[in-house]
Amino acid sequence: MSASAGVRWFMPGPDTLKTAFQGVSGVFLVTNFWEKGTDEGKQATAAVHAARDAGVKYFI
């Protein structure tokens, strides 16, 4: 993946994060806090853990 490439990922489930973060050096996370019934904390926590496990260096 080139330095300018991006990955768009929608939150179908935390198990897909591992694949989404493979080979990624940075993550800019936007949760869907506006959707009724969404657990923003759970989404963010899952993303942080998956990024750490994938060796992501930058997380915003």
Q: Where are the domains positioned within the chain?
A: 14-59
Phi/psi-derived region of residue 23, left when phi > 0, alpha when psi is between -120 and 50, beta in every other case: left
Position 29 pLDDT exceeds 80: yes
* SS3 state of residue 22: coil
What is the structure's pLDDT at 48?
A: 92
- Percent of the chain, pLDDT > 70? 77
What is the structure's pLDDT at 11?
A: 60
Position 3 pLDDT exceeds 60: no
Number of H helices, E strands in the chain: 2, 2
**Which of 23-27, 29-33, 36-40 has the largest mean confidence?**
23-27
Position 16 pLDDT exceeds 60: yes
